[in-house]
Structure 1
Amino acid sequence: MGAAGAAVAASALPVVPGLDALSRAAAATPQDKLSKLADLRFGMFNHFNLGTFTDEEWAAPHQDPALFAPTAVDCAQWAAAAAAAKMSYGVLTTKHHDGFALWPTAYDTQNVTHSGYPHDIVDQYVTAFRAKGLKIGLYFSIWDRTHTVEAYDTRHGVGTKEAIQPADLTLILGQITELLTNYGTIDMFVTDGYAWQMGQQAVSYQRIREHVLSLQPDIVMIDHGALSVPFLGDAIYFEEPLGVTSPAGNTYASLQGQTISDGWFWHPSTPTTDPMSKASILSHLADLEPKYTSFILNCPPNRDGRLDTNIVTRLAEVGAAWSPNTSRAALPTQPLRVEHPVNAVNAYATAFHTGEGPLNAIDGLSDKGFETCWSTWSLALPQSITIDLGGVWSGVSCLEYLPKQWNRNNSTDGDITSCTISTSTDGTTFTQVATPTWNGDRTLKFAEWTARDVGYVRIKVNTATGDYANIGNLRIGGRTTTPALRSRVLPGDSTVYRLTARHSGKSADVSGAGTANGTAVLQWPWKNTANQKWTFAGTGDGYFEIRGAGSGKLLEIGGLSRAEAAAAGIWSDDDVPQQHWAVTPTGDGYYLLTNRFSGLALDVTDGSTADGAKLDQQTYTGATRQQWQIIAL
């Protein structure tokens, strides 16, 4: 991927076919973009990919691309059926979770070029739908099981424990670049397999969002994390088959997805199964239109590459009976958002319920029935959570707070109703900047203050429904300007440090002054030797690589382990998350060292004070065995 990967690193705005200079220079306001989305009202989703030919809703990874072999792809027929139904847009599954691409991507052979139909279907799709005056949306699964851009999904028993590697981000950004530069104006970009597989700590939401908007400034971003309020993207997506639907009185610009047939992908039973009834489709449209929720109806093409007759007929029946309500009031003013988020690297709290620690507030993991959160359930308020932004950033002015959406007993308990927000540049001295009060109604919350330099944000929860706090997700950053990194918590490469455990006063030491991969890191009395000296180099996104001065190798937790008590050692520099550490001050001269991959803190095994005790990782509890003095030498 080397040459292709290098190409995506360029930050200059490329010339996109179909976009003139004026439209590239002056992006629409968020309100304008969401108003246009709400006015689309009715659209077609087309799940057409490898699963069409394997009779799978989620096609297995690493399958032979030759299995994809349509005989008569007819995107013009799909577009004509959409137009007949009075739809206004279409969304194509350019790549689903298995990783097969419907365009000739330069990144590997898992694409149409090497299939039984070696033609660019994305190009055919956008051409056909534009010819009918329809807007264009492209669906792109960030979760990619062939290329191991994934994490283990405990609910469905699929995936691996792979860490997201630098090459994975190269693939993601590179394929997005192809989709958003080769096919003219794209109105909607839909991501999936992200919020519920890896979250924004593993794959930076900020990095992807900024890249997408640099290519197509007026595009609307949507993610399929099926919560009733978004924390990723611009608009809400309600996934009806999961039981998530637009609520009464909804005024958020949104989409609600449903499938007309017996699955998202075509199955052998599809042509003989009665599609969703005309009455039901019309009922959906009548219900969703006043809620500013566009109904996106999935219509899966068959193995020839055409929509089955029963689907085409049903769409024509709907179009003959429905017209948009042009008298509907304009979209209400949409809530303010953190338009330019900073990727938080760490979080700690005064208290938390077992298994619901503070890192869950920033991990970006969320879906129906699967949502992480920081919770103080059973612990009385007030309680505080502190977010580390991985450095001091200028222009930080706001935060979004998402209450937990799927609460115990489906109640609203845990919604913060009043809090105090303070910021700091050093993690020690905090200044109060806002005291918001909110309704306990599970909706997205927003707080804003005068833009300032910020490295740490502390939220002291004063009151909440049920007298405990839940935070499903936080985003912190700027609303109108992009924050700029001003400084990091530690100086960079040239300074040498000693790491001393607070509880024992002993130093992190590479066992036997070893240099081999996997050599253990222990604690030992200070000897001023090279194997006890370390340098810190920033990763560029808020974390540090901690390098042994004697070995030249990096401190890591071996074996891609997220387990409690997994041992620390040294390893060659592979620029992977298990070698990245958040360095967060405790406020009294010590630091927490939190592993990026596991979210666990560097710790001395069992709190031992003995010479030679091994370093490992544990959930942070505030114990002195997990606090480190970082002394410049």
Structure 2
Amino acid sequence: MPRTEHWFEPARFGLFVHWGPWAQAGWEASWPLVGGVVGLPLGQDIPADTYHANAETWQPNPAAPEEWIAAAAAAGMRYAVLTTRHHDGFALWPSSYGDYGVARTAPGVDIVGEFVAACRRHGLKIGLYYSLPDWHHPAYPPFTDAMRPYVFGQYPAPTAEGLAEYQAYLRGQITELLTDYGTIETIWFDGAWERSPEMWDVDGLEQLIRQLQPDILINNRLPNHGDFDTPEQFVPPEPPPGPWETCLTMNKSWGFNAIDDHYKSPATLIHTLCEVAGKGGNLLLNIGPDGDGHIPQPQADRLAHFQRWMERNGEAIIGSSAGLKPWQFHGPTTLKGQMLYCHLLMQPVAPVSVRGVPVHHLQQVRILGHSEALPYEIRVPVMDELMDIDGMGEVMIDVPEAYRDPVATVLVLEFDCDPARFEPVAPDMENLA
């Protein structure tokens, strides 16, 4: 059984947390240090010394992870991933490797430990993000203003001695993260574009990780390795062939960016969750807490919208599998056993049609969250009726306006068989005479 089938794919919905010293200043995560990047249009351009000086005065609140994880659990999320160390090199745990992190600037504070404990209290699986680059480490080498503008694929290479030192640093920090905090369900790498797989020693890292945590999942950003794909900031038109997870921001920034008020609507975010689940993927939705560790109000409001919707409709997301083909229903669909969930992302102006399903095995149609059965009609090919073929047909459902959800109504079609695996049964022609 693939590792992802244990918990990852049924989870469907998780929380991404980008938090670091940048939040105190209201900057995007890490990228202002190198002058910004095209993919983050509202990021700043901050001189290297100014950027790193900000970290010296940041005192992260150890109580912050409880706020994040409690909100995630209430919103129906099943796992969470924290940026333990982003590209800027600041470590959120008291690492013995390197001198840039809470071990020096906030003695006694361990945000990773608090995050892990909060996840366990609320029953969420634990993920740790770790950046392969470190733009502060002396052997990497560190980024300086003289290196501007940042160009992908052209970061200065370390010396041979520096590379060996940096590889030992990576292995040391990863060993701490996967040894000191009990079972960790996934490690989420990033930044591999800056070095070759050989320079990262990806095979050695993968072997180390599997030795320390045999059941852990590794994302596909450790080159040539990984248990799941990670499309970023979009839903792929066709799902990847294996397990996958879309990571998505609520606005245009990963970190707490004080100038970014370009938020997606709650309906857009909930619809994205429906679409991702309908394609058999997971949604890893990001928050960027402020410098004090609080969830910014626009992000908290959107999590509250998820809570309301998931309390009624979470059954159609959590534990589901990909649903019907696009031609069968105008919207995402998910499956769970003999239950087909049809997600109405637009308010219907006519009866809703579900095509290519075993209509003679349909037991009931209802709206998720309501017990009343809805009336429906079925349509089948005329010859199937004449020849008494137990085949596929179309279901027509009128959705009462009073029962419609303002964001996304979910119809439940209950069958006495698996509607995705049903094979039409033709009559025995020899015995018809």
TM-score, normalised to structure 1, is: 0.43
Paired position in structure 2 for 1:550: none
Quote how far apart the aligned CAs of 1:328 are. Answer: 3.3
What is the match of residue 297 of structure 1? 285
Alpha-carbon offset, residue 293 of structure 1 = 1.3
Counterpart contact for 2:134–2:140, Cα < 8 Å: yes
- What do residues 575-621 of structure 1 show as CA deviations (whole Å, max 9, x unaligned)? xxxxxxxxxxxxxxxxxxxxxxxxxxxxxxxxxxxxxxxxxxxxxxx
Matched, 1:69 2:52: no
Alignment partner, residue 260 of structure 1: 250
Q: 1:234 to 1:282 in 2, by over 3 A?
A: same
Match of 2:29 among 57, 61, 64: 57
Match of 2:271 in 1: 283
1:246 and 1:291 in contact (8 A); partners too: no
How far is 1:329 from its partner? Answer: 4.0
* Partner AA of 2:104 in structure 1: H
Aligned to 1:328: 320
**Which residue of 171, 174, 178 maps to 1:173?**
171
- 1:45 counterpart = 2:16: yes
Give the 3 Å change call, closer, same or farther, for CA 78–154 of structure 1 in structure 2: closer
Q: Is there any run of 5+ residues in structure 1 with no aligned partner, and where? A: 1-28, 332-633
Structure 1 counterpart of 2:140, one-letter code = V
Q: Is the CA contact (8 Å cut-off) linking 1:260 and 1:276 kept in structure 2?
A: yes
Going from structure 1 to structure 2, the CA distance change for 1:222 and 1:263 (only over 3 Å counts) comes to same
Q: Is the 8 A contact 2:250 2:287 kept in 1?
A: yes
Q: Quick one: which amino acid aligns to residue 98 of structure 2?
A: D
Give secondary structure in 2 for the equivalent of 1:165.
helix
Question: Which deviates the most, 63-72 or 260-269?
Answer: 63-72
Aligned counterparts, 1:150-169, within 5 A? 155-156=151-152, 159-163=155-159, 165-169=163-167
CA distance in 1, matches of 2:232, 2:78: 20
1:188 aligns with 2:186: yes
* Match runs of 1:393-412 below 5 Å: none
Residue 94 of structure 1 pairs with residue 87 of structure 2: no
Please give the per-residue CA displacement for 1:232-282, whole angstroms capped at 9, x wherever unaligned.
311101012xxx543325442011011113410002235xx3633211111
Deviation at 1:284, TM superposition (A): 0.8
Counterpart contact for 1:192–1:223, Cα < 8 Å = no
Say whether the 8 Å CA contact 1:224–1:239 is kept in structure 2. Answer: no
Please give the alpha-carbon distance, in whole angstroms, between the structure 2 residues aligned to 1:100 and 1:200: 23
Of the three residues 201, 204, 227, the one matched with 2:201 is 204
The residue identity in structure 2 corresponding to 1:136 is I
Compute the displacement of 1:50 (Å): 2.3
Matches of 2:91 and 2:226 in 1, distance apart?
Answer: 22
Q: Percent identity?
A: 30
Q: Deviations over 1:455-479 (max 9, x none)?
A: xxxxxxxxxxxxxxxxxxxxxxxxx
Deviation at 1:33, TM superposition (A): 3.0
Specify which structure has the bigger relative contact order, considering alpha-carbon pairs within 8 angstroms and separated by 6 or more residues. 2
Is the CA contact (8 Å cut-off) linking 1:256 and 1:295 kept in structure 2?
Answer: yes
1:234 and 2:227 matched:
yes
Work out the CA distance in 2 between the residues paired with 1:150 and 1:288. Answer: 39
SS in 2 for 1:39: helix
Contact 1:221-1:234 at 8 Å conserved across structures: yes
Cα 1:329–1:295 shift into 2, 3 Å = closer
The code of the aligned residue for 2:68 comes to W
Tell me how far 1:156 sits from its aligned partner: 4.9
| Matched-pair contact (CA < 8 Å) for 1:91–1:137 | yes
Residue 149, structure 1, aligned to residue 140, structure 2? yes
**Are residues 34 and 235 of structure 1, via their aligned partners in 2, closer, same or farther at CA, if it must alter by over 3 Å?**
farther
**SS at structure 2 position matched to 1:238:** coil
Residue 107 of structure 1 is matched in structure 2 by: 97
* Residue identity matched to 2:320: R
Deviations, residues 386-422 of structure 1 (Å, cap 9, x unaligned): xxxxxxxxxxxxxxxxxxxxxxxxxxxxxxxxxxxxx
Q: Secondary structure at the match of 1:237?
A: coil
Partners of 1:209 and 1:176 lie apart in 2 by 11
Distance change >3 Å, CA 159–CA 324, structure 1 → 2: farther
**Relative to structure 1, is the Cα distance of residues 158 and 127 closer, same or farther in structure 2, using a 3 angstrom cutoff?**
farther
CA deviation string 1:179-238 (max 9, x = no partner) = 0011111001011111x110212121100000001000000001448xxxx833111010
TM-score, structure 2 normalization: 0.62
Structure-2 residue corresponding to 1:603: none
5+ residue gaps, structure 2, are 34-47, 324-433
Residue 41 of structure 2 corresponds to which residue in structure 1? Answer: none
Q: How does 1:90-489 map to 2 (within 5 A)?
A: 90-116=80-106, 118-147=108-137, 148-149=139-140, 155-156=151-152, 159-163=155-159, 165-194=163-192, 196-224=193-221, 231-240=224-233, 245-269=235-259, 273=261, 275-322=263-310, 323-325=314-316, 328-329=320-321
Which amino acid in the other structure matches residue 265 of structure 1?
Answer: G
Q: Secondary structure at the match of 1:136?
A: strand
Q: Which has the higher strand share?
A: 1
Q: What is the alpha-carbon distance in structure 2 between the residues aligned to residue 66 and residue 154 of structure 1?
A: 24
For residue 327 of structure 1, report the CA deviation from its aligned partner.
7.0
1:473-494 C-alpha deviation (Å, 9 max, x unpaired) = xxxxxxxxxxxxxxxxxxxxxx
- Contact conserved, 1:91 with 1:139, CA < 8 A, in 2? yes
Question: 1:249, 1:193 → 2: CA distance?
Answer: 23
Does the 8 Å contact 2:12/2:319 carry over to 1? no
Q: What is the CA distance between 1:116 and its match in structure 2? A: 4.7
CA contact (8 A) 1:145 1:159 kept: no
Cα deviations by residue, 1:97-125 (Å, 9 ceiling, x for unpaired) = 11110000001221102225750000000
C-alpha distance in 1 between matches for 2:282 and 2:116: 20
CA distance, structure 1, for counterparts of residue 281 and residue 195 of structure 2: 27
Decide whether aligned partners of structure 1 residues 174 and 274 sit closer, same or farther in structure 2, where only a CA change above 3 A counts: same
Q: Is the 8 A contact 2:18 2:29 kept in 1?
A: no
Mark the CA change 1:330 to 1:203 in structure 2 (over 3 Å): closer, same or farther. Answer: same
- Per-residue displacement from partner, 1:549-592 (whole Å, max 9, x unpaired)? xxxxxxxxxxxxxxxxxxxxxxxxxxxxxxxxxxxxxxxxxxxx
> Cα RMSD over matched residues?
2.7
